[in-house]
Structures are given as structure tokens and as C-alpha cells.
């Protein structure tokens, strides 16, 4: 499925600036991850590429205190990104603020 996901510490991804993932923290994490490679640049900020277990390629970009994940998912994105979010003390949210967990999707209240 083509969709945008958000790794954020906020309960709503639009509030990511209030409890941000710092750019320096994201860069340290991404540069140490064997599953992420620099695939391009947005000004001075690298855009990282990740190949999912199903072979689909997605991009991860930091902006405004969150990591935006863009691409097409043919498998459950929680399998790929919940561990990453956990490492960053964050959550994986969809555009409608549904939260992806290892146990399934939690709809917003």
C-alpha cells in the first residue's frame, strides 16, 4: 500500500515539534544502522533509503522533529519500523494518527 508513516514521540504526528526526535539523534541512529543508506539529500539533510523484507524500497526523511517514511508497503509496516521507533523511544503513526504496534494497529480515540 502506498502510504506515509511517521516515527514520532507525539500522540499525533502533527505535534512532533512539541516532543521532537532531534536531528542529531536521528542522524546518529541512521548512520549506525546497517539497514539504512543515504539515497539523496533534502538541502543539508540526508534522505535515507531502506529496503523492506518484501523488497520494496522506502525513504526516511527527518523534518520538524519526526521521521517521515514514504513508499509502497506490501507487508505490514509494523514489522519493519516498530523496532526502529522503539530504539528511538517513539511510535509509528499513520496519516490518520493510527498507531502501529507489534500486536496490530491501534486506532486513535
User: Tell me, what's the pLDDT at 85?
Assistant: 96
* Class of 2-106 in CATH: alpha beta
Cβ atoms within 10 Å of 5's Cβ, excluding its own: 26
Q: What is the pLDDT of residues 63-98, one digit of tens each?
A: 999 999 998 877 777 778 999 999 999 999 988 888
Three-state secondary structure call for residue 79: helix
pLDDT one-digit tens code per residue, 30-47 = 999 999 999 999 999 999
pLDDT of residue 42: 94
Domain boundaries, the chain: 2-106
Amino acid at each position: 500500500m502506498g502510504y506515509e508513516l511517521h516515527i514520532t514521540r507525539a500522540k499525533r504526528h502533527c505535534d512532533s515539534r512539541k516532543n521532537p526526535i532531534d536531528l542529531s539523534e536521528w542522524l546518529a541512529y541512521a548512520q549506525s544502522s546497517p539497514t539504512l543508506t543515504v539515497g539523496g539529500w533534502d538541502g543539508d539533510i540526508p534522505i535515507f533509503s531502506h529496503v523492506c523484507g518484501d523488497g520494496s524500497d522506502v525513504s526516511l526523511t527527518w523534518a520538524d522533529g519526526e521521521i517521515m517514511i514514504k513508499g509502497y508497503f506490501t507487508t505490514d509496516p509494523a514489522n519493519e519500523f516498530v523496532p526502529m521507533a522503539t530504539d528511538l523511544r517513539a511510535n509509528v503513526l499513520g496519516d490518520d494518527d493510527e498507531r502501529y504496534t507489534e500486536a496490530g494497529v491501534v486506532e486513535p480515540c
